[in-house]
Amino acid sequence: MENWREISEDIVTSLLEDGSDPEILYEVEHHFVCEDFVKLEQAALAAFKLGYDVEEPAELELEDGSKIWSFDILVEAELDVDVIMEDVDKLAQLAIDTDVEYDGWGTYFQE
């Protein structure tokens, strides 16, 4: 989890240094992937039961031509590492518990 904190700090710092508005709520997308659709679906259901806004699963093609399943969880949050890490901690544990991969989070620049 320490690595996720470092990554999160880099994302937040970069956005703020670029002039993104620190006073508004951001739509944070948490990404999950798995080769097994059934496992991914179970993870999505578990996240939904925890109260998260879960997007529909989608099949993605990787650079090598292989396929993988993914879904996103959307959370409105302050652009604050500690706030975002609360969800990262919960969602990374959910990924471990459901045998899928937590693939990080992202958001968009906001003026």
Identify the pLDDT of residue 26: 95
Confidence bin at 2 (pLDDT 50/70/90): low
Confidence bin at 111 (pLDDT 50/70/90): confident
DSSP three-state, residue 109: coil
What is the C-alpha to C-alpha distance for residues 16 and 22, in angstroms, rounded to an integer?
A: 7
- With a pLDDT cut of 70, the percent of the chain lying above it is 98
**Superfamily of domain 4-107 in the CATH hierarchy:** RraB-like (3.30.70.970)
The predicted-structure confidence for 43-60, as pLDDT tens digits, reads as follows 999 999 999 999 999 999
Asked whether residue 110 carries a pLDDT value surpassing 90, the answer given is: no
Residue 10, burial from CB neighbour count under 10 angstroms (0-12, 13-18, 19+): exposed
Long-range contacts, 48-54 (Cβ 8 Å, 24+): 50/90, 50/94, 52/91
